[in-house]
Amino acid sequence: KAGVTQTPRYLIKTRGQQVTLSCSPISGHRSVSWYQQTPGQGLQFLFEYFSETQRNKGNFPGRFSGRQFSNSRSEMNVSTLELGDSALYLCASSTDRTEAFFGQGTRLTVV
């Protein structure tokens, strides 16, 4: 069974640009959650999608947005990038309210 796939693995962007990250969950998983991981703050919840609907949202500014498609694949978008957005972005999938399985992450560097 294929795991959670995140693309791209690495990204370098300039301040002010926008970026889109992609996550393909494990087959059959309908819940996809996104997390930001930084050395200072650890893993912080961004948002969760279930059956194409945002079910929960963390305390991040509106520059961070996401969506989920009918095949459960999810994308997250960050607009007007800031240096502080440099982080590892992790996607996790689960069936629903069960253990979450994580992808390898996308390492975003903003310069």
Partner 1 sequence: EDKVVQSPLSLVVHEGDTVTLNCSYEVTNFRSLLWYKQEKKAPTFLFMLTSSGIEKKSGRLSSILDKKELFSILNITATQTGDSAVYLCAVATGANSKLTFGKGITLSVRP
Q: Choose among 80, 81, 77, 105: nearest CA to 10.
A: 105
For residue 56, state whether it binds partner 1 (rule: CB under 8 A).
Answer: yes
Paired tokens of 31: 């819940």
Of residues 13, 58, 73, 86, which one binds partner 1 by CB under 8 A? 58
Piece in contact with partner 1 (CB under 8 A), picked from 19-27, 41-49, 63-71, 73-81 = 41-49
**Is the peptide bond between 25 and the residue preceding it cis, with omega within 30 degrees of 0?**
no
The least distance separating partner 1 from the CB of residue 37, rounded to whole angstroms, comes to 9
Query: Which CB sits closer to partner 1, 25 or 78?
Result: 25
Query: Which CB sits closer to partner 1, 19 or 46?
Result: 46
Write the CA distances from 65 to 28, 74, 91, integer angstroms: 23, 11, 14
